[in-house]
Structure 1
Amino acid sequence: MDVKAPRRPPRLLLLTSAYFLLGELAAACKRLNVPHLLLDLGAKEMDAELFVRTLREANASFRPDAILTVNHLGVDREGVLQALARDLRLPLVSWFVDNPEFILPVFSGADPENTLILTWDADSLNAVRALGFQKVSWLPLGADPERFRPGRAGRPEWRARVSFVGNSMLTKTARRLDAARPGPALLAAFAPLAAGFAATGERNVRAFMAQSRPELLPELDALGVERATAFATAVVWRATLEYRLDCVRRTLPFAPLIAGDPGWRELLPASPGLRLHPEINYYEELPGFYPQSDVNFNCTSVQMKGAVNQRVFDVPAAGAFLLTDRRAQLETMFEPGREIALYESPDEASELLARYLADAPERKRMGQAGRARVLAEHTYEHRLRSLLSALAEHFPGRIGE
């Protein structure tokens, strides 16, 4: 009986950026002995000739099997990278950990045959396919359990009964609305649209407007792709602001520590015991921050109607206790009530905060169970293995041969 020799690990060319996931993926490659090269294209835009030369030199010296990026960072809107990847027979893999519907529409020159889109939100798979991409897979977020682990030292001022780490979305909303430059009818409808979008199960802003305010669609479409996308993003960010503010207000009776942007100072009323902290650095500070709280509170962005965010993995990885809002995809990854605590609504969040603050043994037990699940299924090594499997599935005969 002939035994086929095992395929070699694929060689990955990682386009680097300031986004945190590239470092995690590189570390996972190292731990799994996957050959990889971090290619730093620089913070500034590179002219097309230098860009092509840099990529060709990396291809000649490293001989990668695929190019990997996050959120299409490093991919130019004119399609130079896509054309070069096709010419070099290198699949382009882009892992989206933000809404791909806010990013992909502004890129021209897409090559669906040579592009694999991975998305952290299973609910966005059909939307990505509707944009013309044929090779699409679900890849949720994960955690680095070496960085986020029990016992990391934290600052004394981080000690809190309840804490929340997150952006208020105040400035982000304003910037997207400024970029959209909507006409008077859209501007007048902006706040009601955001409130309605938050309350619906619809994920797509344009589809929601077609149902609720169809008379606004001509004005929306007249903005063009980039400005219409900016308006849709602003609607989602404003909806997130209102929802997040409602949730965070439920922590105020428990003297919370809120870490984030200056927008919280404008949004939150004065409250006894409330402490506001500047933004926390993900790498240097956050691993030591989570273990200092009895309850780490989480409320998910409205762009994620079913998906879960980074805190859902990092807090349990740190062995800490998390109370988060229910999302359908979470229940496929953790066991609610045993590994993670969920609230159905802001009203229930208040009740559960009081309950879990009074039950230290349950918090400890759940934190330990949550970390065990992360170690078993949700590290970046797990995600890298899934990524490589998706790459082999969608590009048979081209990867690792």
Structure 2
Amino acid sequence: MRAEKAVILTPGAGDRLIWREAARALESLGHRVSAWEADALSLANVRKLFALPPERSGLAAYPALYLSINFQGLDKFGELAAIFREKGVLVAVWCVDNPWNLLSGLRADFWKDAHLFVTDPGFIPGLEAHGAKHVSFLPLATDPAVFSPRETTRQAGGDATPLVFVGRSAFPDKERFFVGQSVPQAIMDEAETRLRAGQRTDFFWWLEELEMETGATPLWPGSAARKAALGAEESSLAWRSACLEAAAPLGLTIYGDEGWARQFPSGKSNAKPPVLCPPLDYYTQLAAVYANAPFSLNMMSFLLPQGLNQRHFDVWAAGGFCLMDACRGLDLFPEELTAPVTFAAPGAIPALVARFTKDPAEKSHLAAAWKEHILAEHTYEDRMRTLTKTIFS
């Protein structure tokens, strides 16, 4: 199968994050993409798809690849994957979130035969040890059509504060996902002590502390990994809150969910509390905020210890300036770009802001270098080229 001839079936609607970018990138590379609503991909509908000639099924040809993001559109018992395997259709899953969190919802081991792509390479050894046969590193990226268009219609003006932060206080349905899970208070206390000392108590740290890394407690099948994930999520919230609290006196606007109001209640004794605003629309508002803000603050989730998030790519692509915590995922970028704009402790944020406020020439030079690098090497077209080459080669 030649990659440039592939028909790719996806269970993604056009308005979902990453689906739109991935589909546009695949089509720009010469693929034919058919996006079906996940609800339409029932076992009966898929069987019907292969029972009809391609021209009657709505496809130019039978699909060569079924591409899912975070296992969306794949049932937990693997029945849909079994049909695809029977028909010679390859299955690929891009795990853009913690893969053990995703796998904890599956009951069958079909994922071991799928082509898995993870945004954090640190998970590859563990997944392979649990039987995964095809695991590759594929980080997130940016879409120039959204964040660096040739003709921009961005609104004029900017934020009233020097710093902005865009992000959730927790992932959706957190309470439901972690129902029945708890972590020992002694380990939580140790995590808080280490955080204050500048150490990142991330998912892998929690696995070690809970003695899951030895293999005595397999991470799949079952939901044992969720206990480590809960610890990492709580540590991550504490870390982000500490960074935001350190930035607040400088003038900070937070765009996010209502959870941030609980972290920064009106009665809290901040000399200058952050301005709390509702979430932004990713496709119509975010680029303008990044472009206009003097500084965008970015802290990586502890659920992906060696991963990166969208802000690592989108802020720079939009022409903004990103101050980032020193996570291990930054190894993806040249050190000469990351070193000047990273902080290892919340207390270092004010000094970074002061430095670049006093030296706008250096700031402009770095922003331009970052944007050039991101657009040259880290777009969704780059990622889809890597994905299809890995699968079809």
Q: For residues 38-187 of structure 1, what are the structure 2 equivalents within 5 Å? A: 38-42=35-39, 48-50=43-45, 52-53=47-48, 61=59, 62-111=61-110, 114-149=113-148, 153-154=154-155, 156=157, 158-169=159-170, 173-177=174-178, 179-182=179-182, 186=183
Does the CA-based 8 Å contact 1:168-1:264 persist in structure 2?
Answer: yes
Does the CA-based 8 Å contact 1:180-1:228 persist in structure 2?
Answer: no
- TM-score, with length taken from structure 2: 0.85
Amino acid at match of 2:252: P
Matched, 1:300 2:309: no
**Number of equivalences:** 378
Matched, 1:25 2:22: yes
State the shift of 1:94 in Å: 0.4
Distance 1:7 1:283, change over 3 A: closer
> Which residue does 1:228 correspond to in 2?
224
Q: For residues 187-198 of structure 1, what are the structure 2 equivalents within 5 Å? A: 188=185, 191-192=188-189, 195=192
- Name the SS for the 2:144 alignment partner: coil
Q: For residues 173-322 of structure 1, what are the structure 2 equivalents within 5 Å? A: 173-177=174-178, 179-182=179-182, 186=183, 188=185, 191-192=188-189, 195=192, 199-200=200-201, 203=204, 205-210=206-211, 226-268=222-264, 269=268, 270-272=270-272, 274-322=274-322
Distance 1:330 1:8, change over 3 A: same
Q: Which runs of 5+ in 1 are unaligned?
A: 394-401
State the shift of 1:250 in Å: 1.4
- 1:221-265 Cα offsets, whole Å, 9 max, x none, are 9x9965534433322211110011111111112111111111111
State the shift of 1:147 in Å: 0.7
State the shift of 1:275 in Å: 1.0
Does the CA-based 8 Å contact 2:256-2:277 persist in structure 1?
Answer: yes
> Which residue does 1:382 correspond to in 2?
382
> Which residue does 2:346 correspond to in 1?
346
One of 29, 32, 35 as aligned partner of 2:32? 35
State the shift of 1:280 in Å: 1.3
Amino acid at match of 1:231: K
Does the CA-based 8 Å contact 2:323-2:343 persist in structure 1?
Answer: yes
Percentage of identical aligned residues: 24
1-side partners of 2:94 and 2:376: how far apart?
A: 22
- TM-score, with length taken from structure 1: 0.83
Deviates more, 1:111-120 or 1:273-282: 111-120
Distance 1:75 1:155, change over 3 A: farther
Distance 1:261 1:338, change over 3 A: closer
2-side partners of 1:56 and 1:265: how far apart?
A: 53
- Name the SS for the 1:102 alignment partner: helix
Q: Give the root-mean-square deviation of aligned CA atoms.
A: 3.3
